[in-house]
């Protein structure tokens, strides 16, 4: 008979956690967090307001706080640490893995991260600063320093004794491979734990290692890492410096997560959510400022588009049916342009194209734009003709959509390349530029063609 207690639902856990915080009961607070599924920990913390989070981490020990931070998203962890004083945050940060520590501090303002680093001991602070300096999206930014290494001359018996004496430490590392190093920490080989089990006690690490392992350098891109992981199906790769000295390990999970985070950030930028990720647990004023900073720019861009309509106001009043087709032409062209933006963004991220390939992208996209524009224009033109019984109206509407679709696809394909060449972020600016161009050109085309054909439309 199954005597296991039924799992506690999320709402009950949240109630237990908030009650424990209100009564300053650290034991019950940690119990509620530990009873939650790993995936629910971040959700629980997200449901707390800033004051509750600060009080919670004031109740927990540094070890307990570090355990909680390991189960939340790094940007949540940054918000939590930012709310603590440096002398309270430093003991928690010190207990994090080297890569998590660097990621978290890189999310903070420089003044806040420096204040915390000043509270850490010199060795940990120096290592953290070195990890923080690596460029985002590279092996150096993803690697960690918690790995097991042995000198090539050590015997199997010496290695096993070392493992036994540092058992608790190595268990935390989740060791499956050790690394064999020579003079000045130069990497010589990889030592699978399986090889240790079947080796003779007097054999050395050099005798049973896998020599000349595949390595990467700190500036290796995430895309190159993913290609290596796909090709060799490794769980991790050693990171070496220019002198082949072992400086860290980057694992496959971290590489994959980095690619996913990059895609998420690009999506948020395209939606106008600049800066670090927005969470609904953030202060209302912060969230409002972030969104308004983008929306205020869009007001200006929309005024430009609206001015085109104002300039052709007489035409629009004479042929009121045109008003029905203005948003259709704008929206359909925008959708086509966004498809082109997505393809260019993806090819840029995969290094399949470079910012100088304007001619190739223009030919590819303009050809596709003319085909799709003709098809969409014919469809909407026929609908306009059947609706009003005026073939000229159909030609105006259909022609405007066909031309605007071609323009939108070309702009969508080329703008990311142009921005990349200008060392600007394509994900951040491509969307608004495309929207302004498609709206302005769409309105200009349909109203301009209508003005030229006005005697046949009224």
CA of 353: how far to CAs of 345, 385, 453, in Å?
10, 42, 43
Domain boundary at 237, 268, 299, which? 268
Question: Do 124 and 247 sit in the same domain of this protein?
Answer: no
Range of the domain at 27: 10-133
Position 244 scores a pLDDT of 94
Question: Do 125 and 155 sit in the same domain of this protein?
Answer: no
CATH code, 384: 1.10.357.20
Whether the predicted pLDDT of 104 surpasses 70: yes
SS3 149: strand
CATH code, 62: 1.25.60.10
Question: Do 311 and 180 sit in the same domain of this protein?
Answer: no
Q: Rounded to whole angstroms, how far apart are CA atoms 15 and 52?
A: 13
In a domain, 300, yes or no: yes
Domain boundary at 236, 268, 300, which? 268
In a domain, 307, yes or no: yes
The band of 9, judged by pLDDT with boundaries at 50, 70 and 90, is confident
Q: Rounded to whole angstroms, how far apart are CA atoms 456 and 430?
A: 38
Question: Do 127 and 168 sit in the same domain of this protein?
Answer: no
Position 117 scores a pLDDT of 96
**Tally of domains in the chain:** 3
- Contacts of residue 161, defined as CB under 8 A and 6 or more positions apart, other chains included, come to none
In a domain, 138, yes or no: no
Whether the predicted pLDDT of 274 surpasses 70: no
In a domain, 142, yes or no: no
If you average pLDDT over each of 23-37, 288-302, 389-403, which comes out highest? 389-403
Position 294 scores a pLDDT of 56
Q: What is the pLDDT of residues 135-177, one digit of tens each?
A: 988 999 999 999 999 999 999 999 999 989 988 888 877 667 8
In a domain, 2, yes or no: no
In a domain, 342, yes or no: yes
285-307 average pLDDT score = 66
446-457 average pLDDT score = 89
Nearest CA to 131 out of 114, 106, 111 is that of: 106
The band of 273, judged by pLDDT with boundaries at 50, 70 and 90, is very low
Whether the predicted pLDDT of 46 surpasses 60: yes
Whether the predicted pLDDT of 54 surpasses 70: yes
In a domain, 275, yes or no: no
Q: Rounded to whole angstroms, how far apart are CA atoms 430 and 425?
A: 8
Question: Do 229 and 350 sit in the same domain of this protein?
Answer: no
Q: Which of 2-16, 26-40, 417-431 has the lowest mean pLDDT?
A: 2-16
Question: Do 158 and 195 sit in the same domain of this protein?
Answer: yes
Q: What is the pLDDT of residues 109-134, one digit of tens each?
A: 899 999 999 999 999 999 999 999 99
In a domain, 274, yes or no: no
Domain boundary at 133, 163, 198, which? 133
Position 29 scores a pLDDT of 92
Residue 276, burial from CB neighbour count under 10 angstroms (0-12, 13-18, 19+): middle
215-224 average pLDDT score = 92
CATH code, 224: 3.10.580.10
Question: Do 229 and 315 sit in the same domain of this protein?
Answer: no
Question: Do 173 and 91 sit in the same domain of this protein?
Answer: no
Position 35 scores a pLDDT of 87
Q: Rounded to whole angstroms, how far apart are CA atoms 175 and 248?
A: 14
- Provide the β-strand partners of residue 210: 190
């Amino acid at each position: 008979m199954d005597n296991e207690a039924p799992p506690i639902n999320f709402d009950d856990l949240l109630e237990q956690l908030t009650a424990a915080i209100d009564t300053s009961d650290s034991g019950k607070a940690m119990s509620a967090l530990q009873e939650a599924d790993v995936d629910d920990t971040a959700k629980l913390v997200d449901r707390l307001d800033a004051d509750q989070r600060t009080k919670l981490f004031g109740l927990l020990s540094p070890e307990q706080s570090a355990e909680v931070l390991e189960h939340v998203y790094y940007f949540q962890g940054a918000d939590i640490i930012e709310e603590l004083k440096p002398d309270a945050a430093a003991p928690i940060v010190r207990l994090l893995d080297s890569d998590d520590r660097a990621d978290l501090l890189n999310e903070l303002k420089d003044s806040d991260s420096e204040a915390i680093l000043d509270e850490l001991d010199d060795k940990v602070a120096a290592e953290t600063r070195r990890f923080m300096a690596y460029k985002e999206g590279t092996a150096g930014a993803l690697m960690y320093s918690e790995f097991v290494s042995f000198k090539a001359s050590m015997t199997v018996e010496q290695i096993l004794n070392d493992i036994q004496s540092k058992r608790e430490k190595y268990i935390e590392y989740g060791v499956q491979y050790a690394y064999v190093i020579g003079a000045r920490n130069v990497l010589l080989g990889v030592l699978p734990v399986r090889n240790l089990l079947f080796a003779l006690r007097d054999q050395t690490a050099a005798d049973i290692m896998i020599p000349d392992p595949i390595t990467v350098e700190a500036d290796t891109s995430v895309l190159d890492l993913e290609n290596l992981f796909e090709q060799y199906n490794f769980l991790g790769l050693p990171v070496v410096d220019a002198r082949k000295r072992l400086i860290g390990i980057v694992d496959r999970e971290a590489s994959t997560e980095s690619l996913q985070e990059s895609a998420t950030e690009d999506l948020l930028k395209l939606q106008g959510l600049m800066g670090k990720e927005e969470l609904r647990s953030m202060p209302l004023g912060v969230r409002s400022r972030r969104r308004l900073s983008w929306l205020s720019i869009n007001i200006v861009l929309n005024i430009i588009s609206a001015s085109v309509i104002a300039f052709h106001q007489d035409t629009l009043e004479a042929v009121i049916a045109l008003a029905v087709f203005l948003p259709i032409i704008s929206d359909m062209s925008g959708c086509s342009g966004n498809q082109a933006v997505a393809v260019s963004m993806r090819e840029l991220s995969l290094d399949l194209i470079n910012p100088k390939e304007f001619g190739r992208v223009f030919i590819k996209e303009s050809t596709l734009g003319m085909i799709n524009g003709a098809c969409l224009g014919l469809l909407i033109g026929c609908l306009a003709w059947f609706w009003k019984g005026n073939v000229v109206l159909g030609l105006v509407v259909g022609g405007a959509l066909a031309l605007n679709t071609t323009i939108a696809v070309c702009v969508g394909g080329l703008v990311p390349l142009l921005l990349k060449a200008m060392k600007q972020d394509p994900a951040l600016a491509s969307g608004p530029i495309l929207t302004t161009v498609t709206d302005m050109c769409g309105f200009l085309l349909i109203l301009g063609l209508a003005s030229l054909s006005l005697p046949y439309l009224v």
